[in-house]
Chains A and B, each alone.
Chain A
Amino acid sequence: MRIKVEKRFYITKWQEVCIILASIVLAFSSGALVFHFLGVDPLEAYKMMIDGSLGDFYGVSETVAKTIPLIMCSLAVALSFTMVVWNIGAEGQFVLGALACTAFVRYLYVDNFVVMLACMGISALLAGGLWGAFAGFLKARWNVNEIITTLMMNYVAILLLQYFVYGSWRDPTSLGFPMTPLFPKSARLHQFFSTRVHSGIFFAVIIALILWIVVRKGVWGYEIRVSGQNPKAADYAGIRSTRNVILVMFLSGAIAGLAGMAEMAGLHRRLQPGFAVGYGYTAIIIAWLARLHPLAIIFVSFLFGALFVGGENLQIAMRLPLSSVQILQGLILFFLLGGEFFRNYRVSFISRKR
């Protein structure tokens, strides 16, 4: 028996789906091993996760609430990935958006919902966008690796957040907890049916639709796809790739920033250090799984939302640490990237002939 590996020329949609499904199945099987060693029955654990996240109205509403920032952050990174620009900084841009809109509420509050919504939104878009565009500028101008800059800027963003919530923005009545005062009414997004699902979901869906149309049908979407796939062909077509790098990073950051604003105004209604729980990183996995397709991102984000909520349920009911869910996520990414190999190569077993 001999193993033969050859480059794959073409892959059907069907094969691609199979590879993704196989990756997920393998991830959950290895996750089962982890649960087993943690002394928990894996089937029980998975059942508990599904029950907690999708089993009842409350569970589903919690899942949807988590899905909102996931969709927006995933769209943000997917946009940059479309141009083969690796924005790993959605987490930081998310935080910056939250910081900017909180600053607006704190210093320039107007008691009018529409004005507040517009101003908070725009400030978050700008803050996240500029945070991203800075990395884009460094890449366009001096070819600085954007993976490293965006990743590093995440730490800067999170430390900035801590600086403000532990420092001058801390609510004097919070008994020392690091959090700002609650946002006043006009600075809040509506929540539906007394759940935590807020109107930020409209942002998410609308942005997904816009990106879907722009990237598939739009002139600019075509240009960034060409720039990403073959920069020299982009020159040949007269596309200004360097300008587009900055623009893509700005828009990518802006979407993540808006996600931060929606999370503030819709869910937490105050700034606190724990609100950034890694949506920006999970977004990378989601964008990848969805093959950067904006509508697929909505669906995959929902599954990951369920994974988050299910994980919380696991924490509460089975006293497992939060990291066990993170391990599961890590395994999914791990097998997914492993699956990439099978997308690009065909492996066949050949029995040795005499």
Chain B
Amino acid sequence: MPLMDWGRDMTENYLVKMRGITKAFYGIKANDGVDFDLKCGEVHALLGENGAGKSTLMSVLCGLYQPDDGVIVVNGRKVVFHSPKDAIARGIGIVHQHFMLVPSLTVWENMALGSRDMEFVIDENAICERIKELSQRYGLDVDPLTPVWQLSIGEQQRVAILRMLYHEANILILDEPTSVLTPQEIENLFITIKHMKEEDYGIVFISHKLREVFEIADRITVLRRGRVVGSMKTFEATPERLAEMMVGTSGVSEVRATEEKPKSNGKPLLVAEDIVVNNDKGLIAVDGISFTLRENQILGIAGVSGNGQGELAEALSGMRKIESGRLYFTVEDVTYASARQMVDLGVKYIPSDRKGVGLVPNMNVAENVALRKYWQPPFKKGFFIDWDEVYRDSKSLVESYEILTPGVNIPVRMLSGGNLQKLILARELSGELKVVIAMHPTWGLDVKATAFVREKLLSARNDGSAVLLISEDLDELLALSDVLAVIYRGKIMGMIEGPKAENIEEIGLMMAGIPTSVGGGNVIDED
């Protein structure tokens, strides 16, 4: 394919130009006037926090979403994609984080799926030949006859990439390709990417890992809150600058709530000593974390999602097994305590997934209030639950937490997000309360509900409880935390006492896995 035919913009050989892309969901702009370019033979990294709009932008490019506003030019021609099919026809291929392969089919069958010119009779040999040829050319070694479920994650990724090459994509979008790979696999992937670069492919590399971006990208664009905050050649960038761009410094100092509150030096309530926790796949997710959570204290945990926060929260609340290390509640060893025992001790948990974990959507308000206390004295009477007592308790909670519901016998799936969170908060903060583990407690809430939740957490702290606040919202963490820890790959990168807006750069670096001078936590070395 001669390059000349690809576009009219021959001086720069632009494969893609996106101008002023805007896309809103329910009034919230996920992309707001974003410009993005990709040249031939270029790796263009798209950097940003979760929710910064990277995936939305790429979904627009690959035809999954139609933009509300903006223009896409591919190979010099203005295009409108109605579906991913149109984008593939223009040579745009995306390799998702989850590869979207059919596990029971073989490699070649997966390749042939969705092929543009499938004939009635499939020529298996011809397809396999082409796969072999492509895989040799780009060092993507796979056997076309193996069923996909037998492949390792790294091999599956190779199949997903090969599939795009097979469909003659010349613009390849790799969505967080390294997040699932081992270091060796990452190295191989980078070799492949370099090969493809030499053959004039354009590659978009989505990531939030600075180190990898520096290694592979030619150009870097940083998104934050749906807007481009900067775009530069890699040699012009520094890790510090990028981290600051990703995390941002605006609007932090106004909402500081901790400064007016008394300095605390209470007695330890929850003490973790070098705890290790596995994820659902049996891999280490929390890798030796230690901390002390005291009375009258909010310990914030910052970090990009998927670095072990969820597993940590579940382990502390008794829902997940602690593989090694110790967990103490005051002086009591609670390493092996169940969720129920933790509740009885006053260790409460606000999970991030409200409808999936925190509540039973089809059950009513009262039944959901009972969820974490029905075995306790006023509610349990022998083999029976005293529902009158539960209803009474529910009604008073609905009143004092201003939960908007027509009644306590209404299924909670009918409540709004803010009211769902208020209900969870009401249930968890009532009764015996010593420690609250709150995971993304204001995620997706409106301003008013957010303020309500933060106020409740603060008042719990001021009343002598301890709060472990796990969040991805740095503004929130800075506003509420007395101590801030940063988690990366299951380890604490550092802790900052009384974090301020000035610390944001080092927090950003630690979130990206780069150790800094601050922090009393364990410093890890990156592989």
Query: Using a CB–CB distance below 8 Å, which chain A residues touch chain B?
Result: 9-10, 214, 217-220, 222, 225-226, 229-230, 232-233, 235-238
- How many angstroms from the CA of A219 to the CA of B377 in the assembled complex? 13
Name the residue of chain B whose CB is nearest to the CB of A226.
Answer: B360
B338 lies within 8 A of chain A by Cβ: yes
Interface 1/0s, chain B 362-390, versus A by CB < 8 A? 11000100111011000010011101000
The one of B340, B353, B371 that contacts A226, using a Cβ cutoff of 8 Å: B371
Q: How many residues of B contact A (CB 8 A)?
A: 32
A252 CB to closest chain B CB, in angstroms? 19
Contact yes or no, B375 A219, CB < 8 A: yes
If A229-B360, A230-B361 touch, whether A217 touches B387 (CB-CB below 8 Å) is yes
**A10: B residues at CB distance < 8 A:** 411, 414
Shortest Cβ gap from A15 to chain B (Å)? 15
* B363 contact from A217, A218, A220, A226, Cβ within 8 A: A226
- Taking the closest CB of chain A, its distance from the CB of B520, in whole angstroms, is 33
Residues of B with C-beta under 8 A to A218: 383-385
Whether A219 contacts B385 in the complex (CB less than 8 A), given A226-B360, A236-B357, A238-B343, comes out as yes
Taking A217-B384, A238-B340 as known contacts, 18 extra A-B pairs with beta carbons closer than 8 A to each other, sorted by chain A number, are A9-B413, A10-B411, A10-B414, A217-B385, A218-B383, A218-B384, A219-B380, A229-B362, A230-B356, A230-B360, A232-B353, A233-B360, A235-B357, A236-B319, A236-B349, A236-B358, A237-B339, A238-B375
* Nearest neighbor of B356 in chain A, beta-carbon distance: A232
State how many angstroms separate the Cβ of A28 from the closest Cβ of chain B. Answer: 31
CB-nearest residue of chain A to B368: A233
A232, A236, A237 — which one has the most chain B CB atoms within 10 A of its CB?
A236
Q: How far does the Cβ of B288 sit from chain A's closest Cβ, in whole Å?
A: 25
CB distance from B488 to the nearest CB of A (A): 26
Q: How far is the CA of A202 from the CA of B59 in the complex (A)?
A: 64
**Cα(A218)–Cα(B370), bound, Å:** 13
Q: Which of A9, A219, A225, A236 contacts B351 (CB 8 A)?
A: A236
CB-based contact A233/B357 at 8 Å: yes
Chain B residues in the interface with A (C-beta under 8 A):
318-319, 338-341, 343, 349, 351, 353, 356-363, 367, 370-372, 374-375, 380, 383-385, 387, 411, 413-414
A341, B420: Cα distance in complex, Å: 27
- Cβ–Cβ < 8 Å partners of A237 in chain B: 339-340, 371-372, 374
Question: Hey, which chain A residues are within 8 Å of B371, CB to CB?
Answer: 226, 233, 236-237
C-alpha gap A285/B351 in the complex (Å) = 38
- From B372, B374, B385, give the contact of A236 (CB < 8 A): B372
Name the A residues within 8 Å of B361 (CB-CB): 229-230
Q: Is the CB of A238 within 8 A of B338?
A: yes
B415 to chain A, nearest CB (A): 11
A233 to B354 Cα, complex, angstroms: 9
Q: For residue A217, which residues in chain B have a CB less than 8 angstroms away from its CB?
A: 384-385, 387
**Residue of A214, A222, A229, A236 touching B370 (CB-CB under 8 A):** A222
Q: How far is the CA of A217 from the CA of B384 in the complex (A)?
A: 6
Please report the C-alpha to C-alpha distance between residue A236 and residue B368 in the assembled complex, in whole angstroms: 12
CB neighbours of A238 from chain B (8 A): 318, 338-341, 343, 375
- Residue of A10, A219, A220, A229 most packed against chain B (CB within 10 A): A219
State the CA gap A217–B385 with chains docked (Å): 6
- In chain A, what residue has the closest Cβ to B380? A219
- Subset of 19 A-B contacts with CB under 8 Å: A9-B413, A10-B411, A10-B414, A214-B383, A218-B384, A218-B385, A219-B374, A219-B375, A226-B360, A230-B362, A232-B356, A235-B339, A235-B357, A236-B349, A236-B358, A237-B374, A238-B318, A238-B339, A238-B341
CB distance from B299 to the nearest CB of A (A): 22
The 10 lowest CB-CB distance pairs between A and B, nearest first, are: A238-B340, A238-B339, A230-B360, A232-B357, A229-B360, A237-B371, A233-B360, A217-B384, A229-B362, A236-B357
Cβ–Cβ < 8 Å partners of A225 in chain B: 363
Listed residue (A9, A220, A222, A229) with the most chain B CB atoms within 10 angstroms of its CB: A222
Assess whether B360 is in contact with A222, with CB atoms less than 8 Å apart. no
Considering only CB atoms, which chain A residue lies closest to B343 in the complex?
A: A238
Contacts of A230 in B (CB 8 A): 356-357, 359-362
CB-CB nearest in chain B for A237: B371
Residue of chain A at shortest CB distance from B355: A230
List the A residue with the shortest CB-CB distance to B359: A233
Minimum Cβ distance to chain B for residue A214 (Å): 8
Q: Which residue of A lies closest to B367 (CB)?
A: A222
What is the bound-complex CA distance between A9 and B411, given in angstroms? 10
**Chain A residues in 8 Å Cβ range of B359:** 230, 233
Q: Tell me the smallest distance from the CB of A238 to a CB of chain B, in Å.
A: 3
- Beta-carbon nearest neighbor of B357 in chain A: A232
> Which residues of chain A are within 8 angstroms of B367 by Cβ–Cβ distance?
222
Distance of A9 Cα from B370 Cα, bound (Å)? 23
Whether the pair A235, B319 counts as a contact (CB closer than 8 A) is: yes
Q: In the complex, what distance in Å separates the CA atom of A297 from the CA atom of B501?
A: 64
Assembly CA distance A225 to B341 (angstroms): 21
Taken together as a complex, chains A and B put the C-alpha atoms of A230 and B387 apart, in Å, by 20
- Report B-chain residues with C-beta under 8 Å of the C-beta of A222: 367, 370, 374, 385
By beta carbon, the residue of chain B nearest A10 is B414
Min CB gap B431→A, angstroms = 14
| A229 lies within 8 A of B357 (CB) | no
Q: Among B341, B360, B370, B374, which residue has the most Cβ atoms of chain A within 10 A?
A: B360
Residues of A within 8 A of B413 (CB): 9
Please give the distance in Å from B429's CB to the nearest CB on chain A. Answer: 16
Residues of chain A contacted by B387 (CB below 8 angstroms): 217
Residue numbers in B under 8 Å from A226 (CB-CB): 360, 363, 371
- Tell me, rounded to whole Å, the shortest Cβ–Cβ distance linking B249 to chain A: 37
Which B residues touch A236, using CB under 8 A? Answer: 319, 339, 349, 351, 357-358, 371-372
From residue A18, how far is it (CB to closest CB) to chain B in Å? Answer: 20
Cα A226 to Cα B414 with chains together (Å): 18
Closest residue of chain A to B371 (Cβ to Cβ) is: A237
Q: Within the complex, what minimum Cβ distance (angstroms) separates A202 from chain B? A: 22
How distant is the Cα of A236 from the Cα of B343 in the complex, in angstroms? 10
* Cα(A217)–Cα(B353), bound, Å: 28
